[in-house]
Amino acid sequence: MPKQSEKYWYVQSDPWKLCQEKYQPEKNIYFETIFSQGNGYFNTRAYTEETTMVPGYRENYINGLMAELDDQAGKTIGPKPWPKVHLVTIPPVFAANIYICGELFDSSAGKIMSFRRVFNMKNGLLSRTLTWKSPRGRLTTLEFERFVSAENVHLAAQRIRIKPVNWTGEADITFVLDGTYPTVFRSGNWDSLKCQQFFLKPNESWIENNLGIMEMKIKGTGHRLTMVSSVSHAPGRGTWADGTRIKQTVQHAVAPDRTLEVERTVVMMTSMDNIGARAVTARAVAMAKERLPGFNRLLEASTQVWARRWADADIEINGPVRDQKIVRFNIFHLLQVTPVHSDRVNIPARGAFSLYQGLYFWDTEIFMLPFHIFTMPQAARNLLAFRYHTLPGARINAAKLRFKGASFPFMSDSVSGTEQTPGDLGNTLPHVSADIAYGVDQYVRAANDLKFMAECGLTILVETARNWVSRAIQDGAGRFHIDRACGPDEFAPAGRDNGYTNLMAKNNIALAGAWLEELKKTYPYKIKSIKNRLKISRGEIKQWQKVSQGLYIPEIPDIGIPLQDQAFLSKAPIDIEASNLRKEYKKWKIRDFGKYRIIKQADIILAMFLLEDKFSREEIEKAYDFYEPCTMHLSSLSYSTHALVAARLDRTKQAYEYFMKSAGLDIDDIKGATADGIHTASLGGTWQALIFGFCGLTLQQGRLVFRGHLPARWKSVKFTAYFRGQRLDFQVMNEGR
């Protein structure tokens, strides 16, 4: 049985730092994810600077920069009536080739004599120090530092030091930007085809003083990308540009008492950055000249921004060291993937990795948005404004299915807003629209941002309500039904009256009518204009009320709680624990799940929490007791929901067990999938389990209500929340205060 310090490698050290104390090439891909860096605009995996034979993924991207897949990749997706897009992997920003007296430094060759890598979550600085014995016996200490700027989203910086131990000679560092660097297409199904896509089309590259400048065009979408690399030393021999690549070489004589230190900054800009395609390069070059290497100065500016963010987002737990550290890990990664710079992009599903094509999923509003509402209200506004900007695509989705209004996609990009989910799955998951409507309402009520509701939110509510009403089918008894839908449990069959879908749709329609009435008091003329623009009639509003009130919610007989779907009770019961099903499920096919009363992830339990004011505590407790034993937790989103609801039901021990699985999902590699990227929605779910679950925060009728349920191992929790423009500091004690 391993000691806790061995099993949880990150526990020992400063509570703000993650320290890898030994060289573990077999876990390189795992650490690439754990130490990934970003600022919501640019995100990168923690690949090694040097080229090495150790397996890894040299991937970094600019959020929202998409290209079109070719026919070979398209075969794994299936026929679609709109373009198939993929996030572009840009040339590795931190890559460097290092020569020690002519020997290429490769951490997989020679011998690593000492090793330490430190990730500072206070400011996002990643440092690595190692001593390498080359195949010819030269001992060298190498120090690497790098960060992605929070102060300027277009900027990344690195510093490399080479310190000879037992030799004197010349050291060379070469930085390369390859304008033909490929993107690896992954369909999301690891058993299916993976292939390289060459999305980057180099336009021109040149050397200008210490600047290496490369212009690229993106395949299919036509976006322009310019990267400018600036080094702190005058260029040496081997510095050149050939149209497709840039090489910048620094050479220096070194000795045990003479260290080579090189600083480098890289500026990235695209034609998506509210500047014309022709102005991209000029703007990037100008910024690079302004931000010439000055590593410490640039890091300090970024650190100050991080300090302000942590002042609002940190959660202090008076309890076990591990609990504090993994909570900060979750918050840190959520902060660094948040697009604070723009309302034209969203948060990719797997952080700094192109899995699932780098697209945005349905779960932003339900799992991540609450964190932003209470800690970063402007970022929450940006995320919802993104949905407003993609309404044209949502309207196309609805029209394709012959419905009215807007149907938001399960997976999509930053430009089209159309459904990009493989096959027909996206068309059976209409609950996304209701999830977004729910998020709009929660944000506006917490931030009191009536202006946003009038300018953007109300249009979203109206168009999604229209979509639900056009989908509703009335039976002879006057009840309304929704066909061909499933909820978060995507393994369930798409059928009539899915419980989660109908509950959230009912709420969505009611919100549209309620906010129309409420905004009349504050913005009477604007509401009149919106009604005219959207052609909202009194008759239509009456129909909303009729459908909302008459929408059928299936229930479990004799228990009186919502039924997941009409087929659920017809399936054979199975004891998940006794059958060891959670470990054996990979041997099953999806159709096998259809035989048994099994749930992939939190579904009805999630809906009942979201709409908690519509259910009694007894009803929620009955639902938890019925559905929790049936849940497989195959989704990364399931642990946090069960932790949250169990905590609110005062089942603190079980809640804590689920919480630690959610909080440790990536850093403890609980699903064996950390190598594939950070589970961004799970980060937000963990925050909710802590704040809404253990701390008991609830937004009820425009007021904050608390009822603490802290785990026995925690003495207290301190956190900050923004509410109606006010910054509030809270401390929840274990005694329930």
Task: List the chain domain ranges.
Answer: 18-309, 314-343+661-737, 349-554
Any idea which of 165-169, 578-582, 719-723 has the lowest mean pLDDT? 578-582
Task: State how far the alpha carbon of 591 is from the alpha carbons of 177, 193, 492, 511, in Å.
Answer: 47, 22, 9, 37
Closest CA to 326 of 720, 711, 686, 693: 686
What is the percent of the chain with per-residue pLDDT over 70, rounded to a whole number? Answer: 95
Q: pTM of the entire structure?
A: 0.95
Instruction: Let me know: does 401 contact 358? Beta carbons within 8 Å.
Output: no
What pLDDT band is residue 190 in, cutting at 50, 70 and 90? very low
Q: What is the pLDDT of residues 449-482, one digit of tens each?
A: 999 999 999 999 999 999 999 999 999 999 999 9
Average pLDDT value for residue range 228-233? 93
CATH class given for the domain over 18-309: mainly beta
pLDDT digits (tens, 9 = 90+) for 603-612: 999 999 999 9
Tokens of 321: 């060291």
Average pLDDT of the chain, as a whole number: 92
Question: How many residues are recorded in the chain?
Answer: 737
pLDDT in tens, 645-701: 999 999 999 999 999 999 999 999 999 999 999 999 999 999 999 999 999 998 877
Q: Is the pLDDT of residue 329 over 70?
A: yes
| pLDDT tens, residue by residue, 550-569 | 999 999 999 999 999 999 99
Q: Which of 134-138, 427-431, 575-579 has the lowest mean pLDDT?
A: 575-579
For residue range 238-265, list pLDDT tens digits in order. 899 999 999 999 999 999 999 999 999 9
Beta strand extents in 611-723 (DSSP E only): 698-700, 703-705, 716-723
Tally of CA atoms within 13 A in the half-sphere of 720 that contains its CB: 16
Stretch 159-172: mean pLDDT:
97
Read off the pLDDT of each residue in 615-642 and give the average, rounded to a whole number: 96
**Which pLDDT belongs to residue 2?**
43
Tell which residue, 483, 700, 665, has the closest CA to residue 30: 665
In the chain, the amino acid numbered 600 is K
CA distance 362 to 637: 12
pLDDT grade, residue 307 (50/70/90)? very high
Task: Give the span between the Cα atoms of 201 and 203, in whole angstroms.
Answer: 6
Residue 415: predicted pLDDT: 81
Exposure on the CB side of residue 101, measured as CA atoms within 13 A: 17
pLDDT band (50, 70, 90) for residue 736: low
Q: Is the pLDDT of residue 187 over 70?
A: no
Q: What is the pLDDT of residue 594?
A: 76
pLDDT for 588 equals: 66
User: CA-to-CA distance for 683 and 665, rounded, in angstroms?
Assistant: 9
Alpha-carbon separation of residue 541 from 378, 452, 552 (angstroms) = 31, 22, 19
The mean per-residue pLDDT over the stretch 227-232 comes to: 95
pLDDT at 3 over 60: no
Query: Which are the contacts of 635, defined by CB distance < 8 A and separation ≥ 6?
Result: 488, 600, 601, 602
d(CA 93, CA 267): 9
* Residue 381 identity (one-letter amino acid): R
pLDDT of 1: 39
What CA–CA distance (Å, rounded) separates 327 from 317?
9
Q: What is the dihedral of CA 303, 309, 312, 316, to 10 degrees?
A: -60
Kindly give the residue spans of alpha helices, DSSP state H, lying in 54-209.
Answer: 71-74
Q: How confident is the model at residue 544 (pLDDT cuts 50, 70, 90)?
A: very high
Least Cα distance to 87 among 7, 9, 199 occurs for 199
What average pLDDT does the segment 603-624 reach? Answer: 97
Q: What is the pLDDT of residue 77?
A: 61
Residue 142 or 290, more confident? 142
Distance set, CA 559 to CA 237, 570, 621 (Å): 79, 16, 11
Euclidean distance between CA atoms 709 and 736, whole angstroms = 7
What is the rounded CA–CA span in Å between residue 355 and residue 190? 10
Structure confidence at residue 321 (pLDDT): 95
Query: How would CATH label the architecture of 349-554?
Result: Alpha/alpha barrel (1.50)
pLDDT of residue 674: 94
Per the listing, tokens 């660094």 go with 336
For residue 14, pLDDT over 50 is answered with yes
Q: Which residues pair with 713 in a beta bridge?
A: none
